[in-house]
Structure 1
Amino acid sequence: MAESIRLLVVCLGNFCRSPVAEGVLRARIGVSTLAGRVELDSAGTGDWHIGEPPDRRAIANAAEHGIDISQLRARQLAAADYRHFDWLLCADRANLRDVRARMPTGSHAQAALLLDWAGVEADGEIPDPYTGGPAQFEHVFHLLDRAADGVIARLRHEYPDRLG
C-alpha cells in the first residue's frame, strides 16, 4: 500500500481558519480518489484555545455547507508536527513566519502558504474572520473551498507514487 501524504493546516489559534480548512479538506478529499490516502489535521501557533471547539460562527458557517467541524478541538503546533507531517500549510504570512521560526533542525515538514501551495493565489492569505461577521466567515469558507480543489490537484500531480 502507498504511503499517505500528511498535511497540517496552521493558523493563529486553531479556532477559525484552520479547523474550517481541515473540515473542507476532509470532506472534499473524502469523496475523491484520494480518500484514505491523505492524513489531515490542524493546529495553531498560539495556545489561547487549546482543547476548545472551533469558533461557533465557524461551526455554523461550515454546517451551512454540509460540513461538521463541531467535534474538532484546538491544539497548538508541536515540535513533533515537524517530523510527522509532509506539509505545514499556513493561513497567512505571519503564521508562515512563526512556523518557519519554530522549525527544529532536521525537520521533515515543509512550510508554505495554503492558498499559494494550492495554486489559488500567489502569496495569498486567508484573512482572519475572528473580529468579523457572517460575511467574513463565508468569504473564508469560499477561499478554502477553492483551495481544496487545488490541494487535490497538486497531490495527484506531485505524489502519484505515494498516493497509488
Structure 2
Amino acid sequence: MPDMRLLIVCLGNICRSPMAEGVIRARIEASPLAGRVKVDSVGTGHWHVGDPPDPRAIATAARHGVDISGLRGRQLWPQDYRNFDWLLCADKSNLRAVRARTPADARAQSALLLDWAGVEPDGEVPDPYTGELRDFEHVWGLLDRAADGVVRRLQRELDGRFV
C-alpha cells in the first residue's frame, strides 16, 4: 500500500488533471519516492468518462517525454474521499465542488494543487480546453513546477516514515 495517495481534480479529466497525473507520476517515479506514492486523476463532471485525454494534452505531454495516451477520464466518486489522502484541485471552482460533495466519512483533505505544491499561494491552473496549443504549453509549465513541488513536499513529509 502506498504511503501517500494523491488525486488530481479538474473539470472534465481530459486536459489539466491527466497532464498533472502524468508529470507528477513521472517525477515521483524518478525520485526516491518511487513506489511509495499513488497518483490518479478525475473530473468533477461526467462528460468525458471513458475518453482519452484531449489530443492537445497528449501531444503536449509527449513533447515533454510523458505518455498520457493510455489514461481514461473518470468522474469523482464518494469512495475517492476514502481512498485518497489528498484531492488536489486545478482551480477554485473545482475545489468548491470537491468540498461540497465531501461525504461524512471522508478521510481525504482537499486543496489547490499549485498552493499545496508550494508553487503559487491560492494559485489556479487555467483550463486550456477552449484555447490553443500555446495554452496547453502554459499549463504544462505550471504543472511541471507543481510536480517538482509535490516531490519536495512529499520528501519532507514522508521522510520520517522511511527511517
1:155 has 2:154 as partner: yes
Q: Residue type matched to 1:59 in 2?
A: I
1:60 has 2:63 as partner: no
Paired residue secondary structure (2:79):
helix
Q: Give the TM-score, by structure 2 length.
A: 0.97
Deviation at 1:115, TM superposition (A): 0.0
Q: Residue type matched to 1:19 in 2?
A: P
Instruction: Name the CA distance, whole Å, in 2 between partners of 1:28 and 1:58.
Output: 18
Deviation at 1:3, TM superposition (A): 4.7
Q: Residue type matched to 2:45 in 1?
A: G
Instruction: Name the CA distance, whole Å, in 2 between partners of 1:20 and 1:50.
Output: 16
Deviation at 1:159, TM superposition (A): 2.2
Instruction: Name the CA distance, whole Å, in 1 between partners of 2:157 and 2:44.
Output: 27
1:38 has 2:37 as partner: yes
Number of matched residues? 163
Instruction: Name the CA distance, whole Å, in 2 between partners of 1:107 and 1:85.
Output: 9
Match of 2:5 in 1: 6
Match of 2:95 in 1: 96
Deviation at 1:161, TM superposition (A): 3.2
Deviation at 1:48, TM superposition (A): 0.2
Instruction: Name the CA distance, whole Å, in 2 between partners of 1:48 and 1:163.
Output: 41
Q: Give the TM-score, by structure 1 length.
A: 0.97
2:119–2:149 CA contact under 8 A, matched in 1: yes
Instruction: Name the CA distance, whole Å, in 2 between partners of 1:160 and 1:103.
Output: 29
1:3–1:163 CA contact under 8 A, matched in 2: no
1:3–1:162 CA contact under 8 A, matched in 2: no
Paired residue secondary structure (2:149):
helix
Q: Which runs of 5+ in 2 are unaligned?
A: none
Paired residue secondary structure (2:31):
coil
Deviation at 1:160, TM superposition (A): 1.9
Paired residue secondary structure (2:94):
helix
Paired residue secondary structure (2:6):
strand
Q: Residue type matched to 1:36 in 2?
A: G
Instruction: Name the CA distance, whole Å, in 1 between partners of 2:120 and 2:8.
Output: 17
RMSD of the TM alignment (CA)?
A: 1.1
Instruction: Name the CA distance, whole Å, in 1 between partners of 2:33 and 2:140.
Output: 21
Identity %: 67
2:2–2:38 CA contact under 8 A, matched in 1: no
Instruction: Name the CA distance, whole Å, in 1 between partners of 2:79 and 2:8.
Output: 15
Match of 1:107 in 2: 106
Instruction: Name the CA distance, whole Å, in 2 between partners of 1:29 and 1:20.
Output: 14
Paired residue secondary structure (1:6):
strand
Paired residue secondary structure (1:79):
coil
Q: Residue type matched to 2:100 in 1?
A: A
Paired residue secondary structure (2:40):
strand
Moved over 6 A (4+): none
Q: Residue type matched to 2:134 in 1?
A: A
